[in-house]
Structure formats: C-alpha cells, structure tokens
Amino acid sequence: MKSLRSRLLIGFTALLAAALMVFAVIVWLVARDTMSRDMDDFLRGKALLLGRLVPPVPLPASRLIIEPWMEQELQLQENAVVVQMFTASGTFGGRSSNLRSDIPLTEKGRHSEHPAGGVELETITLNGREWRIATHPRRERWGEPVVFYAQAAMPLDAFATRENRLLGWLIAGGVVMLLAGAVSAAVLSKLWLRSVSTLEEAARGLSNSELGKRRLFVPSDDAELAALAASFNHLLDRLESAHTTQQRFTADASHELRTPLTVLRGEIEVALRKPRTAEEYREVLVSNKEEIERLSRLTENMLALAHVDVGDAVTQRELVNVSELCAGVTSRLQSLAAERQITLQHADATTEPLSVSGDPVALDRVIFNLVENALRYSPVGEHVTVVVAKTPPWIEIQVSDTGGGIAPEHLGHLFERFYRVDKARSRSHGGSGLGLSIVKALVEAHGGMVEVESTVGRGSTFTVKLPAV
C-alpha cells in the first residue's frame, strides 16, 4: 500500500507532466501556425514588392531581368528567399542569382481571378524538395489582363528547422521543469507531512462519542499545524450541517434538471411520431439545441446562491428584453401546461420598451422558476398568467395563478432556503425548497425586489420588480 507522501509525489508529478504536455502542445500548435502565417505574409510582401519594382507594361521574356539592385531592395540574401518572373503567356523571364534552376509556374498561380492582381499561395514539390510559393499576377490597372507574373519562394527546409528547434526547446524545458517540480514536491511533502503526522496521532485518539465534545489542540508555535488543527475543528463543527446541505443540494439538482430533460424528451417523441419535413425536423433540432445549451449552463445557475454569498451572482450584463424573455419561457413550458391541463398565457401591459440591464441566463432562471412553480402547484383546469408592465422606475413581471393559494403563516418564509409549504406535496412535484430563494437572490443581485400576494382559495401572484433601462 502506497504512503500518502508517495501518492502525493506521484500525483503531483503526473499532473505537472500532463500540464506541461498540454502547454507544450498548445505552444507548438500556436507557434507553428504563427510561423506558417508569418512566412506566407513575408512571401506575399516580397512578391508584391517585386511586381512594383518592374514597370507594368508588356515586356518580352528577355526583358524580365532581375537586376542586382532589385535583389538588394528585396533583401534576398538575408532572408533565404528566391524570386523569379514569367511573362503573361507563362514563359520564363528571369530569376534571382540565388536560384539555381527556375521553378515552374503552376496552373493555380496563372489562373488567379483577383481583378487587382492579388497573391496566390501554394506549396509544390520539386526534385524531392518542398517550396512555398507566392505568385503575384501583375496588372497595369484594375481588371485588365495580366502583364507578367512575379513570384517569391522559400524552401520549407528552413521552416522545418525552426519547428525542430522549437520542439527541442519545448521538450528540454519540459523535462527540466518536470524534474524540478518532482524534487520540490518530494522535499515539501516531507516537511509538511512531518506536522501532519503529529495531528494524525491526536485525531486518532478521538472517539465517536467525543466528536461533539473534544477538539484537537491548536499549537501556538507551528503556524501550519495550527491552521490545520483549527480547520479540522471547524470541520467537526460543520460536519452534520454540511451533510444535510449536501443531501438537499442533490435533491434540488434533480428538481432543476428534470424539467428541461422532460421538454427535450417530449419534443423528440412528438417529432418521431410521424414522418416530417426537413424544416420541421430542423425546428425540433433548434429547439433541442436551446434546451441543451440551457442544460450546459444550468450548473452555474444551480450555484447562484453560492455566488450571491460571495457577491458574484451576475456574471455578465447586457440589455435584456423582458417581454421576449417571458415569451420564451412560456413557450418552453406550454408542454408542461398542456400535460397538467392548465392555461398558460403571456401578455404585455404596455407597448413601451420593456428592457433591463442584467444577465439573461439568470433572469431566465427567475421567470422559469416562478412559472414552473405556478404550473406544478396549480390544480388541473386553472389559469397561469405572466404579465409584464412598466411602472417607473421598475419593470414589473407578475406571475399569477388561480390555484389554492398560500396560507398567511407561510408567506413570510417562502423565500427562505429549503423552506417548503407542504413538504410531502413538494417532494411529489420534485421540489426542494430552493427555487424561490434562488429567485429572490438573483432578483436582488440585479438591484430589484420580489413580492408575493396570496389568498387561500383564490390563487397567488408573485411580482418581480427590476430597474428599467
């Protein structure tokens, strides 16, 4: 059985190796792509410059000569690049002094459709050697026929050499960093575990009956061990509470995930009942895609209360049309309303712009939770209405139902975490008592407020007030 120290050392070394490998691959790919694009830009510039150095008039092949001053202007010797020119008919004209044999003009280079004479980039193999070539079809004016072709080329040997040099540096650097990290981990783990062993002996002496009474001694002469002992004592204080919270969080996650998955399954089942047109299938797929995207971000919304506690409930702010948001929510929940035989309607009380500044995902969660609660806790045959109104300085969203209402003694506790009016009934509907607390937290994070009015036997109305833009 491996010791904790050896497992820490192996785990840290493996994690560091994986991180270094991922980093090296990313650097390699980015650097390789950058070098490739830099080489293309460099050859493109040389081809364009060569085309500008020669007058744009029809010349015979014997006059397409690359003079020494042109080579000096192009800086061919310093950059290991070669240039050559061809006539409009494709006849070889001239080449630079550092090019031993001409490189043929390909059909791809000759048939550039750019009316201004752009640059065509291609890679060819000549006598077992790869070349990267930039061909510039020089025209006298826009849209006129080609006067001559100017080419700049570079062998890919130099590019491969730079790649191999970079790869060697990455491998060597990675090995050195891995060895340094492994040695550091071995030394630090030995020093740290020396104090942990002392704490372990003290913790072993605690019996189950003493967990609520005894605590570990916190030494004053060892800061690390004191912090660890204090943390362990704090853990003992919160152990039972943490276990209860975990169970409630699991139940809440099940509640939050069930509805989107039900919507997805319902839409797919409806789509498969009979053959449909491509456009109908596309509409189903688009709708499914929206639900999947919502599920992918649902975890962040599930942690909204934790973000509120640290002041980070709103991850982004943008202009949000509240009316469109409510319409989208009611549309998604129509299948649930139909299943429960409840009429679900959305209306705007004004034609004025109904926009707020906030996080659209968080606000969608607020409206979704309220409407879903109204649908799930309303009897069959009732009505649920979503009304959006503008009451300066607020945008008000009212979610009303004609259900059984809520008793007065429960209204003051509705937005408390894990509070449920009817625990048995909430469980049967998949509730965990966290939905309304999420609503309240997200609304207040947007600078708004949420209120509730309810009459037993006549229904309830939840009003969300958000600052209007």
For the chain, the structural domain boundaries read 4-161, 304-467
Q: What amino acid occupies position 181?
A: G
- pTM over 0.75, yes/no: no
Same fold, 4-161 and 304-467: no
CA dist 449 and 444 (Å) reads 6
SS3 100: coil
* pLDDT value of position 333: 93
Q: Tens-of-pLDDT digits for all 469 residues of the chain?
A: 566 667 777 888 888 888 888 888 888 888 888 888 888 888 988 888 888 888 766 666 556 778 788 888 888 877 778 999 888 888 888 888 888 888 888 888 877 666 656 788 888 888 888 889 999 888 877 767 888 888 999 888 877 777 888 888 888 888 888 888 888 888 877 766 666 666 666 666 555 555 555 556 665 655 656 666 677 667 666 655 554 555 655 665 666 677 678 878 888 888 888 888 888 888 888 888 877 766 765 665 566 666 666 566 677 889 999 999 999 999 999 998 999 899 999 999 888 888 999 999 889 989 998 998 899 888 888 999 999 999 989 999 999 998 888 888 888 888 876 576 665 444 444 444 567 888 998 899 899 999 999 998 889 999 999 999 8
Task: Identify the architecture of domain 304-467 in CATH.
Answer: 2-Layer Sandwich (3.30)
* pLDDT value of position 400: 95
CATH 3.40.50 fits 4-161, yes or no: no
What's the 3-state SS for 310-332?
CCCCCCCCEEEEHHHHHHHHHHH
Instruction: List b or e across 314-344, with b for residues whose CB sees 16 or more CB atoms inside 10 angstroms.
Output: beeeeebbbbebbbbbbebbebbbeebebeb
Block residue for tokens 């201004």: 116
Contact 378, 340 (CB under 8 A): yes
